[in-house]
Amino acid sequence: MSRAVAQQLTLVDWVLTQQGVRLEPVLAAISNFLDAHCELIAQVQRDLERGLKNPRTGRGGLTAEQVLRSLVLMRVKNWHYRELRERIADGFTLRQFTAFYARRVPRHDAFQRGFNRLTPQTLKVINELVVRAAVELGLEDGRKLRVDTTVVETDVHHPTDNTLLWDAVRIVTRLVNRLATALGGRHLKDFRNRTRAARRRMQDIQRMTTRQRQERQNGAYRQLIGIAEEVVSGARKVLQQTAARHGKDAIAGILADELRKQIKYFCDLGDRVIDQARRRVLDGEAVPNSEKIYSIFEPHTDLIKRGKVRSPIEFGHKVFLAESAHGLITQYEVLTGNPGDEHQVVASLQRHRDTFGRAPEWYGADRGFYSERSVASCAQDGVKIASIPQRGGRKTSERAAHEKSADFKKGQRFRAGVEGRILGGNEYAHVAAIARPFARRRSWPAFLGDVEDWQKERSIAVADLDDPAELAERYSMPIAALVPWQVRVGGSVSPDIRAEYVIECVITGADGVCQSLKGTIGSFPQPKMPPGSHRGRLVRSRRRTNRRERVAAR
């Protein structure tokens, strides 16, 4: 795939730019900032060309400017990939911002592949450049700093020794079968398909009661480990036997080479899983977390324990965030393992001093960051108010009086703002998943039927959104023709964690100008109900009853 830095404007693009359409103020400011910092385009270009033998040949792909601007737009608007593609393709202003203009917008997965090629170093350079520009323009003085840590969970199932062994068996077997197909469909010697036996052993272990585990668990694990060892050793023999064999054509040969690399990679991970299961289950050894593997698909996953009641154990990566008073993320770090929060205070003060030239006057953190060294570092660096509550132990009279002071409480109220920043990033995926089924609706009457169902089930107060005359009166605009309703439904998170669904329609006025109208259908809280709770059973029973009534009415 060719990687062009920028594309030349066509005559159609130039004509469209002369129509007087302007970007919204936020996007216009971001566009001017990106135009003034061409070094970002060069950095993104190097990432896109990484690993390509000849970037100037092949099919045309996304340019560096399109990748960078689309990534910025996706993060600013908090859209997912499909919505990003639809919004860019549907609006000229966004086409202008992302440098697509009149060209065809690719599928959503093209954006995902382009964004994944950007290295963490590039993203950190972009963030540092934004912070530096804010300091130079006087938009951020760095007087206040609030810090916190969160966990970004990886997309893995809950790891157990038996499921990890089953994953290794089925993935290695699948890759070996694909290799056999690429080499002409011939049967590979010295390799047996043991997926059925491995699945049965894994299910037997999962279905054991506590008493059965004491009697039969070790025997079942020995069989499962033996099956996994047989599959891994057989896959390695296949690699040796087929090392000199090529596919029936050039494409099949390239595919076979890639499959060999993947088989070797997953065989190495399988060895780690087998060794871990043998040490933990059969030998009874307490394996350190640093030596464990929690997923063969995301082997970098860490086990995080933060003492949370709802989520005592999380699998992912711990992330440190530092935010200024104006909502600017001045620092972020993806931490290795599960280090204590108190170890991040000294480093955050040093990075803040490097960026702003001085330490912050206010430093807000939760009690997880408290230690005598943290408080002493804040005092030594010149922090006037270090609002870090003491964690555990008996407080001295001076410490108790300090935490009851007005400045300390004000610092804690300021610190609470970073929780909203973390919560907004984590809850968006949940709300987007709720809104996605309704976003596929294209029929306005059918959509209004759903609204009526929502009224019955959730008691939502819905205005007469299907009345064009009321819309015209509400927005004080004459209506000459009503184009077919173009319904878009999006989810957003409000401070009280409510899911809001917005209808967006397009109306053509008497002057021929199209205007976009938005109205909230309704909002309702999304309580997290346990699967076995009494309220959850009542809600599911009510939904089943309403579904039967709708089917009977049809």
CB distance 2 to 57 below 8 Å: yes
pTM of the shown model: 0.68
- pLDDT score recorded for residue 148: 94
**Quick one: which of 82, 84, 97, 92 has its CA closest to 31?**
97
- pLDDT score recorded for residue 524: 34
- pLDDT score recorded for residue 151: 92
Mean pLDDT split into 10-residue runs, the chain, 554 residues: 58 63 82 88 89 78 91 88 91 86 88 91 88 85 92 92 96 93 78 94 93 91 96 94 81 88 95 95 91 94 87 92 90 91 93 92 93 93 93 90 93 89 54 31 35 34 40 41 32 34 40 41 40 54 71 70
Pairing of strands 362-364, 385-387: parallel
* Through-space distance between the first and last CA atoms of the chain, rounded to whole angstroms: 52
**Quick one: which of 321, 318, 319 has its CA closest to 145?**
321
- pLDDT score recorded for residue 23: 79
List the structure tokens of 239. 């690699």
The residue ranges of every structural domain in the chain are: 11-122, 161-291, 302-415, 424-553
Q: What is the DSSP string of 87-155?
A: HHHH-HHHHHHTT-TTSPP--HHHHHHHHHTS-HHHHHHHHHHHHHHHHHTTS----EEEEEEEEEE-S
315 residue type, one letter: F
- pLDDT score recorded for residue 523: 36
Q: What is the DSSP string of 38-64?
A: THHHHHHHHHHTTT-S-TTSSSB---H
What are 464-507's pLDDT values in tens digits?
334 444 444 444 433 333 333 333 333 333 333 333 334 444 43
CA–CA gap between residue 2 and residue 118 (Å, rounded): 16
DSSP class of residue 294 equals: S
Classify the C-alpha dihedral 352-355-358-364 as positive or negative.
Answer: negative
User: 98: buried, middle or exposed (CB in 10 Å: 19+, 13-18, 0-12)?
Assistant: buried
- pLDDT score recorded for residue 491: 35
Label each residue of 419-456 as H, E or C: HHHHHHHHHHHHHHHHHHHHHCCCCHHHHHHHHHHHHH
- pLDDT score recorded for residue 272: 96
CB distance 503 to 489 below 8 Å: yes
CA–CA gap between residue 381 and residue 388 (Å, rounded): 15
CA–CA gap between residue 202 and residue 160 (Å, rounded): 10
Residue 479's beta-bridge partner residues? 509
CA–CA gap between residue 276 and residue 291 (Å, rounded): 8
Q: Which long-range contacts (CB under 8 A, 24 or more apart) does 132-139 make?
A: 132/355, 133/33, 133/37, 134/326, 134/328, 135/355, 135/356, 139/326
